[in-house]
């Protein structure tokens, strides 16, 4: 009976915590759909706020997606070969580089953004382009990609795989594509999930880096909260959820699929 | 078997090393080594871990750079500066180094694909190699789903697929269990001979070395202690180290007079006919050359333990406390611990080393 009591208590506590976390989200969704949040359900429901948000802010949704994808592309291009190079190099130098790459995560986003603006603010075209935001995101997300790939590299015998392929006449670049990349895929997938999620939700850094023409979704959200009625801002949250949840599920499914393929 | 062998071009290069040396961080792991490996010969590098055998193999493979130029030649051509991917050597690794992202057939065909050989030809070549190692039914299996022995044979087929100039094997059986190891040892020996390929085979297992090698190089501390045919190594070891490493060796120390070695044994008489003039000597003999004798001039020793091996049994006996000998005798005989046995050894099979050799 003691076991049953603790199990029940466990359920209850878990449910309470889940509710505590979910209720604000649900309330927000509800507020975004209600005609007047202050008057409650009696005022009725509407999609007007969502429509208004879409007409005002749809560009931020697309920009967020583009920024996330560009960030992902860059972290893949830099992070995966970079991680392999670091593991291959090994030793103290590689450790120092790894720490340096991780540093931007520890530095407050605002400070990082300020540094970027100080350094590159003078290059007008670059400063005003979406690319400027992407650069900030890459700085911030790169360590997550690299760490995920390094973690997998440390579990596979990459050196022997590489030597095996070399003994069969394969040049270094081909060995990287033929035997290293396919075998670190789980790390790449995990890293990619993290990078996309972080990039889409990033506010801190982006808020400093953006211009009126390069607003991302979270920045637009802050705008809406600050300057519009509560229902509009809440509808914005709803749009964010509608966009992010399918994206995450899709990425996870894609990840599962590739994993199954490697295992079967 | 011959018909199958004809299907492959003989592609073994002769290997020459000239004062081949390797130093890691100021520590010489391979002393200057001169080797002549004939085309088609199978040379086994045998020794304990850390003796430099794997380093020597990796130098021949091109996975390590030698200390100087002009140290390694294939058929007279200096290959010292070529990295492994340009040396055309087949390599079988201890951990197999098979690619988990590919099937058995894809692994075997990888080297051909890299060479740019067209799909049709690649597939028929792969099929032929898989048949040779008895894996035709496993072609489309993932590497992760086949057994250790099958992986080992896949690795061998993959290395042979590129028609290498030499085949290099780094403890290829070490990861397998004892029964499989014994079976594959014979199989690999046959396969290598069938291919007629020059092979360098690294192992720490003397039984494996004897079964596979045309010649064996016994190594210790970065140098080759002795190189020769397995029988020569076993029956005429050059020194104590080789003698001990390639089998069990009994050792007796004493003075020889009138061709009889007298051992200072405490409570038993120990005399062995060895021949030759008067001298101080260290004589050695293998357990299997011991024979019971009733006559004088025998070694008398106290039985400590017996181990049954089937046709023979091994006696551990001591001539003095702490000075043990091992004797292989017919298992039909009965010995009890504490019993005294009298035996001698075939004088032809007795090996003598200089004292402190």
A245: its two tokens: 């949840």
| Same domain membership, residue A189 and residue A149 | yes
Q: What are phi and psi of A61, to 5 degrees?
A: -65, -50
10 Å CB burial of residue B306 (0-12, 13-18, 19+) is buried
CB atoms within 10 A of CB A26: 10
Rounded to whole angstroms, the Cα distance separating B319 from B302 reads: 7
- Average pLDDT for B245-267: 78
Count up the domains in chain A and report the number.
2
Rounded to whole angstroms, the Cα distance separating B302 from B318 reads: 5
Q: Do A263 and B100 touch (CB under 8 A)?
A: no
| Beta pairing, strands B198-203 & B166-170 | parallel
Residue of B61, B95, B98 with shortest CB distance to A167: B61
Rounded to whole angstroms, the Cα distance separating B88 from B156 reads: 15
Chain segment A169-183, per-residue pLDDT in tens: 999 999 999 999 999
Q: What is the DSSP letter of A137?
A: H
A243-262 residues touching B, CB cutoff 8 A: 262
Question: Is residue A52 one of the residues assigned to a domain?
Answer: no
The pLDDT assigned to A182 comes to 93
Q: Do A183 and B110 touch (CB under 8 A)?
A: no
Q: Do A164 and B90 touch (CB under 8 A)?
A: no
Question: Is residue A146 one of the residues assigned to a domain?
Answer: yes
B235: its two tokens: 């029956």
The pLDDT assigned to B156 comes to 92
Q: Cα separations (Å) of B287 from A39, B211, B311, B343?
A: 102, 20, 14, 11
Rounded to whole angstroms, the Cα distance separating A181 from A250 reads: 22
The pLDDT assigned to A264 comes to 44
Residue of B85, B142, B159 with shortest CB distance to A166: B85
The pLDDT assigned to A71 comes to 95
Which residues neighbour A258 within 8 Å (Cβ) at sequence distance 6 or greater?
Answer: A185, A189
Best-predicted range by mean pLDDT (A203-217, B35-49, B254-268, B285-299):
B35-49
Helix (H) or strand (E) holding A30: helix A2-33
B277: its two tokens: 């003039």
B123: its two tokens: 């597939």
Q: Which CATH number do you get for residue A121?
A: 1.10.3720.10
Q: What is the DSSP letter of B75?
A: T
- pLDDT above 80: residue B4: no
Contact (CB, 8 A) for B172 and B188? yes
Contact (CB, 8 A) for B326 and B251? no
Tokens 């190079």 locate to A85
| Same domain membership, residue A114 and residue A214 | yes
- pLDDT above 90: residue B228: yes
Q: Bridge partners of B91?
A: B168
| Same domain membership, residue A72 and residue A29 | no
The pLDDT assigned to A2 comes to 59
B65 touches A: beta carbon within 8 Å: no
Q: Do A183 and B99 touch (CB under 8 A)?
A: yes
- pLDDT above 90: residue B10: no
Considering only residues B357 and B87, tell me which one the structure prediction assigns the higher pLDDT. Answer: B87
Tokens 């990840």 locate to A255
| Same domain membership, residue A134 and residue A37 | no
| Same domain membership, residue A236 and residue A182 | yes
B356 touches A: beta carbon within 8 Å: no
The ipTM value here is 0.81
Q: Do B110 and A163 touch (CB under 8 A)?
A: no
- pLDDT above 70: residue B42: yes
Domain that holds residue A23: 1-46
Question: Is residue A130 one of the residues assigned to a domain?
Answer: yes
Q: What are phi and psi of A64, to 5 degrees?
A: -60, -40
What is the helix, strand, coil percentage profile of chain B, to 5? 30, 35, 35
Which residues neighbour B303 within 8 Å (Cβ) at sequence distance 6 or greater?
Answer: B315, B316, B317, B335, B336, B337, B338, B339, B340, B341
Question: Is residue A51 one of the residues assigned to a domain?
Answer: no
The pLDDT assigned to B47 comes to 93
Average pLDDT of every residue of chain B: 86
The pLDDT assigned to B3 comes to 41
Considering only residues A263 and B320, tell me which one the structure prediction assigns the higher pLDDT. Answer: B320
Question: Is residue A140 one of the residues assigned to a domain?
Answer: yes
Q: Cα separations (Å) of A4 from A8, A12, A18?
A: 6, 12, 21
Contact (CB, 8 A) for B166 and B12? yes
A99 touches B: beta carbon within 8 Å: no
Question: Is residue A155 one of the residues assigned to a domain?
Answer: yes
Tell me the pLDDT band of B7, cut-offs 50, 70 and 90.
Answer: very low
| Same domain membership, residue A94 and residue A21 | no
Chain segment B176-213, per-residue pLDDT in tens: 888 888 888 888 888 888 888 999 999 999 889 999 99
Residues of chain A with pLDDT under 50: 263-264
Secondary structure (DSSP) of A40-108: GGGG-B-SHHHHHHHHHHHHHHHHHHHHHHHHHHHHHHHHHHHHHHHHHH-HHHHHHHHHHHHHHHHS-
Q: Bridge partners of B22?
A: B30
Chain segment A197-214, per-residue pLDDT in tens: 899 888 888 888 888 888
Distance of CA A96 to the CA centre of its chain: 25
In chain A, which residues have their Cβ closer than 8 Å to the Cβ of B93?
160, 163-164
Distance of CA A24 to the CA centre of its chain: 22
Tell me the pLDDT band of B266, cut-offs 50, 70 and 90.
Answer: low
| Same domain membership, residue A124 and residue A201 | yes
- Domains annotated for chain B, with CATH where assigned, are 2-88+163-245 (3.40.50.300), 250-353 (2.40.50.140)
């Amino acid at each position: 009976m003691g076991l049953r009591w603790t199990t029940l208590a466990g359920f209850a506590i878990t449910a309470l915590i889940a509710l505590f976390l979910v209720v604000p989200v649900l309330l927000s969704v509800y507020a975004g759909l209600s005609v007047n949040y202050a008057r409650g359900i009696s005022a009725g429901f509407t999609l007007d706020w969502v429509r208004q948000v879409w007409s005002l802010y749809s560009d931020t949704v697309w920009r967020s997606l583009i920024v996330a994808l560009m960030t992902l592309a860059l972290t893949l291009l830099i992070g995966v070969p970079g991680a392999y190079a670091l593991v291959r190099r090994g030793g103290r130098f590689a450790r120092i580089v790894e720490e340096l790459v991780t540093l931007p995560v520890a530095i407050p986003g605002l400070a990082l953004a300020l540094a970027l603006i100080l350094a590159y603010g003078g290059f007008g075209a670059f400063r005003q382009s979406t690319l400027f935001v992407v650069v900030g995101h890459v700085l911030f997300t790169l360590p997550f990609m690299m760490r995920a790939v390094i973690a997998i590299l440390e579990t596979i015998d990459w050196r022997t795989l590489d030597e095996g392929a070399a003994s069969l006449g394969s040049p270094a670049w081909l060995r990287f594509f033929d035997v290293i990349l396919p075998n670190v895929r789980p790390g790449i997938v995990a890293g990619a999930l993290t990078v996309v999620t972080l990039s889409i939700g990033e506010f801190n850094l982006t808020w400093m880096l953006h211009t009126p023409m390069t607003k991302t979704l979270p920045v637009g959200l802050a705008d809406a909260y600050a300057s519009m009625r509560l229902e509009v801002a809440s509808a914005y949250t709803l749009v964010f959820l509608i966009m992010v949840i399918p994206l995450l599920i899709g990425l996870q499914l894609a990840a599962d699929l590739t994993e199954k393929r490697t295992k079967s | 078997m011959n018909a199958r062998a004809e299907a492959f071009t003989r592609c073994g290069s002769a290997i020459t090393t000239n004062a081949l040396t390797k130093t890691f961080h100021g520590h010489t792991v391979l002393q200057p080594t001169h080797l002549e490996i004939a085309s088609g010969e199978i040379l086994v590098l045998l020794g304990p871990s850390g003796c430099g055998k794997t380093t020597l193999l990796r130098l021949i493979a091109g996975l390590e750079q030698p200390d100087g130029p002009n140290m390694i030649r294939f058929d007279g051509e200096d290959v010292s500066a070529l990295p492994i991917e340009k040396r055309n050597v087949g390599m079988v690794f201890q951990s197999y180094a098979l690619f988990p992202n590919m099937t058995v057939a894809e692994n075997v065909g990888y080297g051909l694909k890299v060479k740019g050989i067209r799909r049709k030809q690649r597939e028929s070549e792969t099929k032929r190699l898989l048949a040779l190692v008895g894996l035709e039914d496993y072609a489309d299996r993932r590497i992760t789903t086949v057994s250790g022995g099958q992986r080992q044979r896949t690795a061998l087929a993959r290395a042979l697929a590129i028609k290498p100039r030499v085949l290099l094997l780094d403890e290829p059986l070490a990861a397998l269990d004892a029964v499989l190891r014994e079976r594959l040892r014979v199989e690999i020996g046959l396969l290598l001979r069938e291919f007629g390929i020059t092979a360098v085979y690294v192992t720490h297992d003397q039984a494996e070395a004897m079964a596979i090698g045309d010649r064996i190089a016994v190594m210790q501390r970065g140098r080759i202690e002795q190189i020769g045919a397995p029988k020569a190594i076993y029956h005429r070891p050059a020194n104590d180290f080789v003698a001990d490493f390639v089998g069990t060796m009994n050792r007796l120390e004493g003075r020889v007079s009138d061709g009889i070695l007298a051992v200072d044994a405490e409570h038993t008489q120990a005399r062995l006919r060895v021949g030759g003039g008067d001298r101080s000597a260290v004589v050695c003999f293998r357990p299997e050359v011991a024979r019971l004798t009733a006559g004088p001039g025998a070694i008398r020793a106290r039985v400590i333990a017996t181990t049954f091996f089937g046709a023979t049994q091994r006696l551990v006996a001591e001539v003095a406390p702490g000075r043990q000998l091992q004797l292989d005798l017919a298992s039909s005989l009965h010995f009890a611990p504490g019993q005294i046995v009298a035996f001698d050894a075939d004088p032809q099979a007795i090996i003598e080393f200089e004292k402190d050799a």
